[in-house]
Structure 1
Amino acid sequence: MKQKKYRSQHGLFVVEGEKVVRELMEAAVKPIALFVNDSTLLKKFEEAELVPPQVLKQMSSLTHPSGILGVFHMMGPRDKTKTDWTVVLDAVRDPGNLGTIIRLCDWFGIDELVCSSDTVDCYNPKVLQATMGSIARVSVTYTNIADYLSESERPIYGAYMDGASVYRTNLGENGILVMGNEANGISEEIGKLITERISIPQFGGATTESLNVATATAILLNEIRRG
């Protein structure tokens, strides 16, 4: 389960940590197996199997195992309560960035996250840790995002260094926000489908080349929800 090909083959994924496991279970995602390494956790998760700490360490992908590990079925498409805004990711490769963006979508009430096929796997253990359980509440799908955007009737906003200031842009009540690759930004193919290029203006004398994609997503989603 530590490798994507085996996760895909079996339709299973592994999560570690009491908070993430509990969040999934409270979202009615039932584990097919649950392992803990001490009796205190066993009292909290009666369906778990108690295993020696050294065994859990062998199973874990963490340097310092949290003490609980769950094996879950991958989640299928979920009903979305909102359809006002969608975030689309174009080749975001860093697991921490994807996990943080999933958590941001949960915080800002974005139910749908659409990813290009070359975006990092949302069931990557590092992604799951970074989501802090938000993976249970955000529908993440992988598709050809060019086709997805072409078929949409909503306005499509793309994050660029040279776009119009987001603080002077009327974002409206619905739309699609496209965030690009950490190094190269939004690809040329996807850029042709963007209806409005927006940016986060730089203040002061900072010489930073660009913002981290997850940080930029947080600022833009805040502006979207601020109205």
Structure 2
Amino acid sequence: LGTMIRIADWFGVAHIVCSTDTVEWYNPKVIQSTMGSFLRVNHWYTLLPSWLEKLRVPVIGAVLNGVPVQQMPFLPNAVLLIGSEGSGIRQAILSAITHPVTIPGKGQAESLNAAVAAGILLSHLTGK
């Protein structure tokens, strides 16, 4: 989470919404890895299925079978969903995704670290 907070800060993402079972924002390891970015990015913990139901903005979901990120159009005010490294995005919130996106790979790794994926996606999706 700390690395993702730092990445969000780098790309100008002002808000991170976490599921209620995500690591605690003020965990010492999280704080250390943010290098101060935790002070500039707002955060909330919530039950994601009900929160996502209320949204009226595009929801981009990082999945293995989505549109290649290089082909994804710019979507202002969108939400980017990143799942866990081992399981991906939970089944309960997959239906909220309006724009599935993937990072095409060339090697044999089965997945990317969640923070690395967030950085690659935000690099393409924010236009920075």
Query: Smaller-chain TM-score range?
Result: over 0.9
**CA offsets, 1:154-213, max 9 Å, x none?**
00010011111011111322200000011000011110111111000112xx11111111
Q: Unaligned regions of 5+ residues in structure 1, if any?
A: 1-97
Matching residue of 2:108: 207
| Displacement over 3 Å in runs of 4+ | none
Match of 1:73 in 2: none
Supply the distance in 2 between the matched residues of 1:151 and 1:161 (Cα, whole angstroms). 25
> CA shift at 1:151, angstroms?
0.6
Point out which structure has higher relative CO (alpha carbons under 8 A, 6+ apart). 2
User: For residue 218 of structure 1, what is the aligned residue in structure 2?
Assistant: 119
Name the structure 1 match of 2:10. 107
Counterpart of 1:46 in structure 2 is: none
User: What's the counterpart of residue 146 of structure 1?
Assistant: 49
Measure, in 1, the Cα distance between the counterparts of 2:127 and 2:88: 25
Distance across 1 between alignment mates of 2:74 and 2:50: 23
Matches within 5 A, 1:66-215: 98-203=1-106, 206-215=107-116
Larger radius of gyration: 1
Give the AA of the match of 1:219. Answer: I
- Structure 1 position 145, deviation (Å): 1.1
Give the distance between the partners of 2:77 and 2:16, measured in 1 at CA. 14
- C-alpha distance in 1, partners of 2:99/2:8? 21
| Whole-angstrom distance in 2 between the partners of 1:164 and 1:178 | 14
Distance 1:182 1:118 in 2: 14
Structure 2 unaligned blocks of 5 or more = none
Cα drift, residue 128 of structure 1: 0.5
TM-score where L is the length of structure 1: 0.55
Q: Percent identity?
A: 43
Deviation at 1:225, TM superposition (A): 1.6
Q: Which deviations, in whole Å up to 9, do the C-alpha atoms of 1:112-152 show, x marking residues without a partner? A: 00000010001111000000110000001101111111111
Task: State the Cα deviation string for residues 43-76 of structure 1 (Å, max 9, x = none).
Answer: xxxxxxxxxxxxxxxxxxxxxxxxxxxxxxxxxx
Partners of 2:117 and 2:77 in 1: CA distance: 19
Give the Cα separation in 1 of the matches to 2:85 and 2:113: 7
Count of residues in correspondence between the two structures = 128
